Structure formats: C-alpha cells, structure tokens
Structure 1
Amino acid sequence: MTVRPLISSLALLLTIASPFASAQQPSRFPVVSLTAGMHVIRAEVASTDAERQQGLMFREKMGPNEGMVFMFHAPASVCMWMKNTLIPLSVAFIDQDGKIVNIEDMQPQTTDSHCAKKQVHYALEMNLGWFRQKNIKPGMSIEGLPR
C-alpha cells in the first residue's frame, strides 16, 4: 500500500463532502440594525464578492425580522437568484440614498433572475411577503444601511 492513493482518496472524499458540510453549516456574517419605518430589522451584511455569492444559501429558516443586506460598493445593475436557497424570500433593491427602487418575490431553489429596475447600492432580502405585510413599498427608505 502506498500513501499516494490514500491521499487521492481522501482528497476525493473531501471534495465530495464539502457541499454537504456547507449545507449543514451556513456561513454567518456581521449584523447591523436597520429600520424600515417603525420596523427594526436585524440584517447580516454581505459586502464582499464571496459573501454576496454565498448569501442565504442553505439556510433552513430565518427569524421574522431577520434578513440580509447585500452591499455593492458602486452603483450596480443587480439581479438576484435563488440557487441553493431553501427559504422563499422577498428582495428590496435600494439606491445610494436608502430609497427602495423595487421589491421582488423569489421562490426557493430557482434560477429565475429578479432584477433592480435601475442601478442600486443595496439589496435587502427578507422572508417572503415581509415588505407587503409591513406595508413597505418602493419610494420608502431603509435607514442604517452600512456605508
């Protein structure tokens, strides 16, 4: 028996197991408090390319006033999708002044594109229907966004 096949087998096993490991332990990001009118949101911040790519993938649940804010460090044409995302979400696309441009509902495990109607600085994902339930609409502001 040589060491080389064992190392190759171990590398193959780790490669196969890694998607399952990330599915069981989703990454958590720094948290900020945002406000939408009188509603307080506990939002994780995804500010790097890697964090934005991970987003809320593999999460099985999210608290009623929890979400994730995606920061884009310059105005960007932004589209979101739900690949490997297990919970239904609504996303608000937000301009540099904190005003909501548009809100889109997204279904889990889909690759449909949901896009901002103009270039934005932020996208805020919440549980499906959260914005509608709180009567939060385009043109309203989100306060406390990270700079």
Structure 2
Amino acid sequence: MAAAGYVSDEGYARMRGASLRRRGLGARRIAQDLGQAGIAADLRDEALGSQREARAAALALARKRRLGPFGPRDEAGRIDPALREKQVATFLRAGHPLPWRARWSMQRANAKRKTGFMKQTIKTGLMGAVLALAGGMMACSPATADAGHHKSDALAAPSGAATVHPISGLKVIPLAIATKTGRHEFRVEVAVTGEEQEKGLMFRTAMGADEGMIFPMEPPRMAAFWMKNTVIPLDIIFIGANHRVLNVAANAVPYDLTPLPSTGPAAAVLELNGGRAAQIGLKPGDRIAW
C-alpha cells in the first residue's frame, strides 16, 4: 500500500500535464517541462495523449466550420467576427492555446477597439475642456455695472513731450494720478542718478502747484526720505511696483532730519507741494502713471 502523500510518476505526469494545459501551454512546452522533472518519455507521451486527441478534434471541427487555424472566414473569404469568437471558444474548450494568427487578429481587433475608445475619450475630454473654458470666460467676464469700474482702474500714461527744467537741468515728463476726485496731471522732474536723487529738491524756494519730482528705483526697495536742506514743505508719496500708492508722508516739515519710510518696496517716490495730495484726494491704492 502506498505511503500517505506519495504520487507515482504516472500520476504526477497526468497532474502536471493537466496543470500546464490549464495555463495554456502547448504540447512541446509540456513535454520539456515533464522531461526536466525526470518523467520517462513513455509517461510523457501518455500524459500528452489526451491533449493531442483534443487538439485533433478541435482542428477537425474548425475545418468543418471553415474556421481554419489562420483565422475564421465567411463564404466570401472575409473574416467574420462571429466565426472568430466560435473558433476561439473551440480552441479554449480543447485546452490548447490559440494559433498565432488567431491571437494576432484578436490583438489587432482589441487594439482597434482601444484606439477608438481613446480617440472618443480624448474627443470628449477636449470638448469638456472647451466648454469649461468657455464657461470660465463667461463667469469671469465683468457685468455691465463692473465694466466702468475696471475702465476707471486703468490709467494711461499722459502724453506730452519731455522738456528740461530750467533750474535743475533734469528731464521733465508728464505724470497722471487717478483718485476718487478724478484724473490729475502734473509735470515732474526725473531724478535718476544717485547724485540727482541725493540732492532732490534741496534749496528750492518755490514749486508750481502741478509740478513735482519723481525718484525711480530699480529694483524696487524699501525707502526712507528726510527733509535735510529742503526749504518748502512736501508731500512724499511712495509708489509700489504696480504703480499704486503705498503710503503718503504728508506735509513733511522743512529741514527735519526724521526719516520718513515707505510701508513696502517702492518702485518710485514722488514729491509734490505740501498739502497737494490732500487737495486731490490721494489715498493708498490710487494709481499713478508716467
């Protein structure tokens, strides 16, 4: 009587062959596997006998139904998808892998289906993106009531030829300020170099109501001004990189050495006559263009 757990070579060959057939391996691959396991040739042939019989029956049925191993075709010689499915089922029932041409045709059909699905998915995605973009543009478009607000928010630089100031010799350019009271235009001297900015409006005894001096700063930085040797009171206006007013040091006292700082990085500093900023209603956030 065989010991518990013992399996004969014949039984092992049958079980191993059946297992490999379920995995879809062919007769040659199964024979190689059994040979490596040390199974005798006669037992390998016996284990593969049932598979060979099943394959022969499947091929005979395929020929009878005009499904040959090179792909199922109808009476006109064209490949019929319905017949292909029958051939696939026949070979699978026989426990044999599909002929390579049948596998190739199936892979090609699956690739076409995937390509069609991908094209449809991409097309749907693009349509959705276009609709979403159109919806976003409609949602972001301002209403009629807001249109005037955005128009007033934009401030065009004033036109006019640059001239030279008769006292300082600096270039004079037009400058515009937009406040709640409206648009206000000035003619301002431009102090560019370090020496020009250090001198500024020192020793000047008078300045026109619509005149001033601007100090461009590149790159924008924290700034602080004082009134050393400055005879007239000034409004010192610190301007950010977006051309909006950061803060205003109003009515700076002549000759005062107290530093008057900006509240943020300034791209320019504008000096007007003392009290002029209050007259035009200038506040932080107002725009200045030059």
Smaller-chain TM-score bracket: 0.7 to 0.9
Deviations 1:27-68 (A, max 9, x none): 331111000121111110011101100100010000001000
Q: Which structure exhibits the higher relative contact order, with contacts defined as CA atoms closer than 8 Å and separated by 6 or more residues?
A: 1
Does residue 33 of the first structure (1) align with residue 174 of the second (2)? yes
Written as runs of structure 1 = structure 2, the 5 A alignment for 1:55-134 is: 55-105=200-250, 106-134=252-280
| CA distance, structure 1, for counterparts of residue 189 and residue 241 of structure 2 | 18
Contact preservation (8 Å) 1:85, 1:109: yes
Percent identity over paired residues: 36
Distance 2:254 2:169 in 1: 19
**Over aligned residues, Cα RMSD in angstroms?**
1.2
**Which structure 1 segments of 5+ residues have no match?**
1-24
Q: Tell me the residue number matched to 1:139.
A: 285
Which letter does structure 1 place at the counterpart of 2:227?
Answer: M
Residue 74 of structure 1 deviates from its aligned partner by 0.5
Tell me the equivalent position of 2:84: none
Alpha-carbon deviation of 1:136? 1.1
State the match for 1:54 in structure 2.
199
Q: How many residues align?
A: 120
The 8 Å contact of residues 44 and 69 in structure 1, kept in 2 or not, is answered as yes
State the AA in 2 paired with 1:125. Answer: E
Query: Conserved in 2, the CA contact under 8 Å of 1:83 and 1:110?
Result: yes
- The 1-side partners of 2:169 and 2:275 are apart by 23
Deviations along 1:106-127, one digit per CA (max 9) or x if unpaired, are: 1111111111001111000000
TM-score (norm 1): 0.79
Q: 4+ residue runs of structure 1 moved beyond 4 angstroms?
A: none
Distance of 2:239 and 2:224 partners within structure 1: 12
Cα distance in 1 for residues equivalent to 2:229 and 2:237: 20
Q: Report deviation, 1:80.
A: 0.3
CA distance in 1: counterparts of 2:283 and 2:220, whole angstroms: 21
Distance in 2, Cα, partners of 1:28 & 1:84: 19
- Aligned-residue offset at 1:26: 5.5
Bigger helix fraction: 2
Distance 2:276 2:249 in 1: 11
Could you state the TM-score of these two structures normalised by the residue count of structure 2?
Answer: 0.40
Q: Is the 8 A contact 1:96 1:120 kept in 2?
A: yes
Task: Give me the whole-angstrom Cα distance separating, in 1, the residues matched to 2:221 and 2:192.
Answer: 13
Higher strand share: 1
SS in 2 for 1:142: strand
Contact 1:26 1:58 in 2 (8 A): no
Query: Hey, what does 1:14 align to over in structure 2?
Result: none
Amino acid corresponding to residue 87 of structure 1 in structure 2: I
- 2:188 corresponds to: 43
Rg: which structure is higher?
Answer: 2
